[in-house]
């Protein structure tokens, strides 16, 4: 006996909402009501003739004895014929039996009436094996436990309802024990209407059950029912697992009967209650059993979870002991004591019932599932025989304990509990794995909100190797309790050899890994894992060999290939997600000593499609990496949009400075939120946004720029930060593309950058005079008093979906007309989360915001990263105003700079160590980081700049080198100079052959493709261009790259920055780097780019390299001579007449080369070349 998962080979089986299951459920519910209603109608009528105890005993005996007498016929019918046929036959018999019962009342025959109760019991006994035996034939395996739970609840509730209905009918037809009348004078019409209606509805509902095949149509009719009953019991005995299960179910019914009989005495004798107050005690017990039954089905999930039963047994023990204490300590002469005891008795009787339901449902499900198809009816009938035998024994035992030994009812509860304790212990001894596994499952599902998908990808039989990412200390436990099959984990021996965990590790077959003991010991562990797989077991390994400190997927070790060697076992990739920030993750640079970010922390686990016979480690790592993307997509709807995160961040930093700028403006969280609310009101008051989706913003990075962006987002509109470094023509092109009618800007800004725009300009300076007292009161009240959940709804933020576009950022136009990149709330929110996860930002961090908000990195990192998470920021509109940048860094204690190498070179030359005294992290992008620049910066400021990679279309971050000190990396390499780092969490990358699309794996140069939540929604109004760059979710970056085995990405060039000369691909960037090294000198104080390489068409070779440069310190001949000595192909050498001197190299406002202007310069100068 253990946790079971059943094959779903029978595709005709369905779920809980199928017609067949609902028909069976309703048939059982109505039938149980009718059975009990008729029984409890007969008992009051019997009290008119017999004494109360005789009538009760007759009712119990007549209804119960048939279960013992007709076990054999019931088993025969359930196996020999279709169970549907038997069920319908029983429902027809129920109608006939009801008619007979009504006829006996009309005749006034009390003997006939109890004979009909006996017939009703017989019908129920014949119905039982077919009813429960049909469940495995109707339901898919993963629905069996839930189906049993719901059916168990229906049975318990219907029994209680039937009791009430039966007593109610007795009153309606005129049963009166104080003034008895002849039975034949009772009015049978109310009874006829109610009982016949229930029976007819039961028959109709049974017709909805689908046709079921006969399990054993050749089974002969038993000629000796007694011998056949013993034969059934013997068959049950031979299967030890099924016999133990049947005993457990019988023990449940034994306890149920004993508890039911004891409750009446407990209430009337122990607590001195009147009879009307005893009813609720029985009712809460019944309700508890129903709730426990449903809960057992829910907890079982998609398998039969036997580990629940010991928990139920312990619950029975605990609640019985408490009931004993309540009854013993209660003082019936004290009304307050009695009231207290009554209320708490109700509570603990409910717990007792719930625990009983938890105990029974897994056993019922196991018995149904594990019984052989051909003899399921026989097995269930034999189990039912045991159940009712023990039910009768319970009646006799209660008589002995109360009437002969004169024990108090509370003491009987204590004995009931004490009898359960060894049962719980026995189950634990039989099922230690299942019991511990479920206990851990319950704890983890209480602390974490667990979601599992892809469980069907686990092979139902046979061995497999599971390979998972590693985020927290509890990952192995999470996998063991969510898998549908037992998993043997591979773990370092140091972690599983501690005395308190060693026996548990041994119990669950954990394979200890001993790398410190040498290669032989390591190979022995790997061979043990291989042997386990060959024996059909599931084995799981965390291939990274360590916990991630950044959330990035680390290098996979090669041990898994040794495990797989010589086997045909598949590899099942597994991805654990959403755990970053939980207690056992490395968020904040430590594993344990921190508070989790939220209660019931979310946890998503996805089991991927098996990888058959993988060729190498990379193939498996790629599968795990891709799985992270799939899982992220699955939880997209749960991602909090940035503007909602903004409200929460403002509340947590009400009085802490969040943003400041070059003008001296500052705002804490409270002022930031108040300003956003006021701006939103003023913008709407002007009628802006009523008939327009996009609102233009022409503002530098500043406090006002932040508040305006958040205000527009609170309106649910799309903010378009216009690129003021573009030409007026290009800006108006962007306005036209978006259909912008209004542009929010500043007079001061337009004085510095005059533009004639094709839209109405709204000046922020005018807002100040338009703010009313009411506006201020509203803003302050909403900021400081209104609960966040209500504030979100007041502003309509709950209507904003993750897939809604948050902004449109126009590409710089370096290779053509600007393209509008649509970035969604989902894109930006997940990118912000990724940056936080990589760099461990906290409230002490201060970012330098010099990148404009029309720049994707500026928009994501220096705007929304600050608005929706802990860091603060200081802004300046001019990144080359080094003096002001240095002063701001010194004044506000800037700790993080996100910029480009071009701008960093200026800071290196002109900023002082005092100005960068708090500088901790420098992340660069947009251009390749020269190693010399990084080293010089480190020597001066003690901070090593690292490089990241991204594009506007990717929101923008794809990958980043993580400074080791940022995540306190002890064993994990976070940075590799010359690369752009590893992919951010939940982002997948690969390099492919640009012509064939073939995946090139690791250490091969190819075209870089990116997939993940950061991939843009598309280009505005350009579906064709979108389709060109996004293929099945993969974004074609246009960059050439090499992915190293440890996951670091090395950008080797850009597709658009290659020339095809005489059939060979010649990289512009590589030639630029070589030329720059030749012409630059340490004494050169010029921080600007000194040269760039472009190309023009050439009739003979296809293309011709052109070098555009500022004044050189060497002759062209000398430069070409030194370039030729650099061990490069001759095709890479520009001709002597291909050098063009200019005063300034064309640069975009973002610091990137203006590639379009470069090519235009070359074409204009070398006009003799045919374009």
Query: Quick one: average pLDDT of 1028-1049?
Result: 92
Taking the C-alpha atoms of residue 839 and residue 871, their distance in angstroms, rounded to an integer, is 11
Query: Quick one: average pLDDT of 792-814?
Result: 89
Of the candidates 316, 314, 312, 392, the residue with the CA atom closest to the CA atom of residue 360: 312
Of the candidates 441, 530, 529, 537, the residue with the CA atom closest to the CA atom of residue 480: 441
Residue 1009 near residue 994 (C-beta atoms within 8 A): no
Has residue 687 got a pLDDT over 80?
yes
Taking the C-alpha atoms of residue 30 and residue 26, their distance in angstroms, rounded to an integer, is 6
Which of 353-357, 484-488, 638-642, 974-978 has the highest average model confidence (pLDDT)? 638-642
Q: Dmax over Cα atoms in the chain, in whole Å?
A: 130
Q: What is the pLDDT of residues 308-359, one digit of tens each?
A: 888 899 999 999 999 999 988 888 778 788 888 888 989 999 999 999 988 9
Question: Which residue's entry shows tokens 């004078």?
Answer: 185
* Total Cβ atoms within 10 A of residue 1010: 26
**Is 950 strand, coil or helix?**
strand
896 φ, ψ to 5°? -135, 125
Cα 61 to chain centroid distance, Å, stands at 53
Taking the C-alpha atoms of residue 229 and residue 67, their distance in angstroms, rounded to an integer, is 11
Query: Quick one: average pLDDT of 997-1003?
Result: 90
Compute the Cα dihedral for 87, 88, 92, 95 and give only its sign. positive
Per-residue model confidence (pLDDT) at position 743: 95
Residue 1035 near residue 1023 (C-beta atoms within 8 A): no
Is residue 813 very low, low, confident or very high in pLDDT (cuts 50, 70, 90)? low
- DSSP secondary structure string, 35-46? HHHHHHHHHHHH
User: Which has the minimum average pLDDT: 90-104, 686-700, 1079-1093, 1109-1123?
Assistant: 1079-1093
Question: Which residue's entry shows tokens 């016929």?
Answer: 73
Structure tokens at 148: 């049993």
Has residue 618 got a pLDDT over 80?
yes
Query: Quick one: average pLDDT of 1154-1158?
Result: 82
Query: Quick one: average pLDDT of 1142-1171?
Result: 76
Has residue 9 got a pLDDT over 50?
no
Structure tokens at 492: 């370092």
Taking the C-alpha atoms of residue 933 and residue 1019, their distance in angstroms, rounded to an integer, is 35
Paired strand residues for 1064: 1061
Residue 704 near residue 764 (C-beta atoms within 8 A): yes
Has residue 814 got a pLDDT over 60?
no
Of the candidates 157, 382, 459, the residue with the CA atom closest to the CA atom of residue 290: 157
Which of 1054 and 752 is assigned the larger pLDDT? 752
> How many CA atoms lie less than 13 Å away from 536 in the CB half-sphere?
3
Taking the C-alpha atoms of residue 618 and residue 557, their distance in angstroms, rounded to an integer, is 10
Taking the C-alpha atoms of residue 1049 and residue 915, their distance in angstroms, rounded to an integer, is 33
Query: Quick one: average pLDDT of 414-422?
Result: 90
Residues in CB range of 1141: below 8 A, 6 or more apart: 1109, 1110, 1111, 1112
- Please list, residue by residue across 936-962, b when 16 or more beta carbons sit within 10 angstroms of its beta carbon and e when fewer do: bbeeebebbbbbbbbbbbbbbbbbbbb
Of the candidates 210, 180, 214, 283, the residue with the CA atom closest to the CA atom of residue 76: 214
Has residue 229 got a pLDDT over 90?
no
Residue 961 near residue 974 (C-beta atoms within 8 A): yes
To the question of pTM greater than 0.85 for the whole model, the response is no
944 vs 139, 836, 984, CA distance in Å?
Answer: 62, 19, 20
Q: Which domains, and CATH codes, for the chain?
A: 13-214 (1.20.1250.20), 225-430 (1.20.1250.20), 449-638 (3.40.1130.10), 641-655+669-824 (3.40.50.12780), 1062-1165 (3.30.300.30)
1001 vs 225, 310, 554, 1034, CA distance in Å?
Answer: 71, 50, 16, 16
Q: Parallel, antiparallel, or unpaired: how do β-strands 1018-1019 and 820-824 relate? A: antiparallel
**Contacts for 969-975: CB closer than 8 Å, 24+ residues apart:** 969/549, 969/550, 970/549, 971/546, 972/546, 972/548, 972/549, 972/550, 972/554, 973/1046, 974/549, 974/550, 975/944, 975/946
Has residue 870 got a pLDDT over 90?
yes
Q: What is the pLDDT of residues 1079-1130, one digit of tens each?
A: 876 555 566 788 899 988 887 777 889 999 988 888 989 988 888 888 787 8
Of the candidates 1031, 1118, 1108, 1100, the residue with the CA atom closest to the CA atom of residue 1061: 1100
Tell me the percentage of the chain whose pLDDT exceeds 70: 92
Residues in CB range of 150: below 8 A, 6 or more apart: 16, 25, 293, 294, 297
Per-residue model confidence (pLDDT) at position 1085: 59
Is residue 816 very low, low, confident or very high in pLDDT (cuts 50, 70, 90)? low
Q: At what angle do helices 432-447 and 275-300 cross, to 10 degrees?
A: 100
Radius of gyration of the chain (CA): 39
Per-residue model confidence (pLDDT) at position 6: 36
Q: Helices in 653-738 by DSSP H: which ranges?
A: 669-685, 703-714, 728-738
């Amino acid at each position: 006996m253990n946790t079971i998962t059943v094959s779903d080979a029978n595709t005709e089986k369905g779920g809980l909402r199928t017609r067949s299951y609902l028909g069976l459920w309703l048939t059982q519910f109505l039938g149980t009501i009718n059975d009990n209603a008729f029984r409890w109608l007969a008992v009051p009528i019997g009290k008119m003739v017999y004494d109360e105890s005789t009538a009760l005993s007759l009712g119990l005996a007549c209804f119960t004895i048939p279960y013992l007498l007709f076990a054999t016929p019931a088993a025969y019918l359930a196996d020999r014929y279709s169970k549907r046929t038997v069920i319908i036959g029983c429902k027809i018999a129920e109608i006939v039996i009801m008619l007979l019962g009504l006829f006996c009342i009309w005749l006034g025959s009390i003997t006939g009436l109890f004979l009909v109760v006996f017939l009703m019991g017989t019908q129920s006994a014949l119905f039982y094996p077919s009813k429960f035996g049909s469940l495995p034939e109707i339901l898919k395996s993963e629905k069996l436990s839930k189906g049993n739970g719901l059916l168990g609840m229906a049975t318990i509730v219907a029994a209680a309802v039937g009791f009430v209905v039966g007593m109610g009918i007795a009153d309606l037809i005129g049963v009166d024990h104080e003034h008895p009348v002849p039975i034949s004078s009772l009015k049978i019409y109310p009874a006829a209407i109610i009982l016949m209606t229930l029976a007819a509805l039961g028959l109709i509902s049974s017709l909805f059950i689908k046709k079921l095949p006969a399990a054993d149509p050749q089974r002969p009719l038993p000629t000796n029912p007694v011998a056949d009953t013993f034969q059934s019991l013997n068959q049950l005995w031979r299967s030890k697992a099924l016999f133990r299960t049947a005993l457990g179910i019988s023990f449940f019914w034994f306890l149920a009967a004993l508890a039911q009989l004891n409750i009446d005495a407990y209430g009337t004798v122990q607590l001195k209650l009147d009879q009307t107050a005893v009813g609720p005690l029985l009712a809460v017990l019944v309700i508890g059993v129903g709730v426990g039954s449903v809960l057992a089905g829910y907890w079982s999930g998609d398998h039969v979870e036997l580990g629940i039963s010991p928990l139920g047994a312990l619950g029975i023990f605990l609640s019985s002991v408490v009931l004993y204490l309540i009854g013993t300590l209660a003082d019936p002469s004290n009304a307050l004591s009695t009231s207290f005891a009554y209320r708490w008795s109700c509570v603990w009787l409910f717990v007792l019932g719930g625990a009983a339901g938890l105990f029974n449902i897994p056993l019922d499900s196991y018995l149904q599932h594990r019984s052989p198809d051909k003899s399921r009816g026989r097995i269930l009938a034999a189990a039912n025989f045991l159940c009712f035998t023990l039910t009768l024994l319970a009646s006799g035992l209660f008589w002995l304990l109360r009437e002969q030994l004169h024990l108090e009812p509370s003491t009987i509860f204590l004995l009931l509990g004490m009898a359960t304790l060894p049962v719980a212990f026995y189950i634990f001894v039989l099922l230690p794995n299942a019991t511990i596994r479920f206990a851990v499952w319950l704890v983890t599902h209480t602390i974490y909100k667990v979601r599992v998908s892809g469980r069907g990808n686990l092979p139902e039989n046979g061995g497999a190797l599971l390979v998972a990412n590693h985020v927290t200390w509890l990952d192995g436990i999470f996998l063991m309790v969510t898998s549908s099959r037992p998993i043997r984990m591979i773990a370092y021996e140091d972690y599983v050899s501690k005395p308190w965990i060693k026996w548990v590790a041994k119990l669950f077959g954990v394979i200890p890994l001993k790398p410190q003991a040498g290669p032989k010991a390591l190979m022995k562990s790997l061979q043990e894992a291989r042997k386990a797989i060959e024996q059909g077991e599931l084995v799981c390994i965390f291939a990274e060999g360590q916990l991630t400190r950044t959330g990035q997927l680390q290098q996979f070790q090669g041990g898994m290939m040794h495990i797989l060697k010589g086997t045909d076992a598949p590899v099942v990739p597994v991805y654990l997600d959403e755990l970053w920030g939980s207690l056992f993750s490395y968020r904040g640079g430590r594993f344990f000593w921190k508070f989790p970010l939220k209660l019931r922390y979310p946890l998503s686990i996805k089991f991927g499609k098996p990888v058959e016979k993988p060729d190498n480690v990379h193939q498996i790592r790629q599968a795990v990496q891709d799985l992270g993307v799939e899982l992220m997509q699955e939880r997209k709807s749960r991602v909090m949009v940035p503007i909602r995160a903004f409200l929460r961040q403002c509340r947590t930093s009400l009085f802490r400075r969040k943003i400041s700028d070059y003008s001296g403006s500052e705002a804490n969280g409270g002022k930031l939120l108040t300003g956003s609310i006021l701006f939103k009101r003023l913008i709407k008051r002007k009628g802006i946004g009523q008939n327009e989706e996009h609102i233009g913003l022409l503002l530098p990075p500043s406090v006002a720029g932040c508040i305006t962006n958040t205000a527009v987002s609170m309106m649910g509109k799309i903010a378009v930060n216009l690129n003021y470094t573009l030409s007026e023509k290009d800006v108006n092109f962007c306005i036209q593309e978006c259909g912008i009618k209004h542009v929010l800007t500043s007079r001061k800004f337009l004085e510095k950058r005059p533009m004639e725009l094709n839209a109405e300009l709204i000046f922020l300076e005018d807002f100040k005079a338009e703010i009313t007292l009411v506006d201020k009161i509203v803003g302050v009240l909403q900021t400081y008093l209104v609960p966040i959940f209500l504030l979100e709804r007041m502003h309509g933020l709950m209507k904003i979906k993750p897939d809604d576009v948050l902004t449109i950022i126009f590409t710089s136009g370096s290779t053509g007309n600007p393209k509008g990149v649509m970035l969604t709330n989902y894109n930006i929110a997940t990118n912000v989360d990724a940056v936080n996860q990589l760099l461990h930002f906290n409230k002490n961090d201060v970012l330098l915001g010099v990148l404009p908000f029309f720049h994707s990195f500026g928009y994501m990192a220096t705007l929304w990263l600050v608005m929706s998470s802990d860091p603060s920021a200081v802004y300046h509109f001019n990144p080359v105003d080094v003096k002001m940048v240095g002063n701001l860094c010194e004044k506000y204690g800037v700790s993080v700079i996100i910029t480009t190498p071009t701008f960093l070179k200026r800071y290196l030359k002109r900023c002082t160590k005092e100005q960068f005294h708090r500088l901790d992290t420098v992340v660069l992008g947009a251009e390749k980081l020269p190693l010399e620049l990084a080293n010089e910066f480190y020597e001066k400021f003690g901070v090593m700049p690292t490089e990241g990679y991204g594009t506007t279309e990717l929101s923008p971050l794809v990958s980043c080198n993580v400074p080791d000190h940022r995540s306190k990396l002890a064993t994990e390499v976070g940075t590799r100079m010359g690369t752009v780092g590893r992919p951010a969490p939940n982002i997948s990358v690969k390099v492919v052959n640009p012509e064939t699309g073939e995946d090139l794996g690791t250490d091969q140069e190819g075209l870089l493709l990116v997939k993940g939540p950061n991939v843009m929604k598309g280009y505005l109004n350009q579906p064709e261009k979108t389709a060109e760059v996004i293929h099945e979710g993969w974004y074609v970056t246009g960059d050439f790259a090499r992915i190293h085995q440890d996951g670091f990405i090395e950008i080797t060039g850009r597709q658009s920055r290659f020339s095809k000369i005489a059939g060979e691909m010649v990289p512009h960037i590589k030639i630029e780097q070589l030329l720059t090294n030749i012409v630059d000198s340490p004494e050169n104080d010029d921080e600007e780019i000194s040269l760039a390489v472009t190309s023009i068409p050439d009739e003979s070779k296809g293309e011709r390299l052109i070098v555009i440069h500022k004044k050189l310190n060497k002759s062209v001949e000398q430069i070409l001579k030194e370039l030729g000595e650099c061990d490069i192909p001759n095709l890479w050498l520009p001709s002597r007449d291909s050098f063009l001197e200019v005063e300034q190299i064309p640069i975009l406002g973002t610091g990137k080369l203006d590639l379009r202007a470069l090519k235009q310069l070359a074409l204009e100068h070398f006009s003799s070349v045919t374009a």
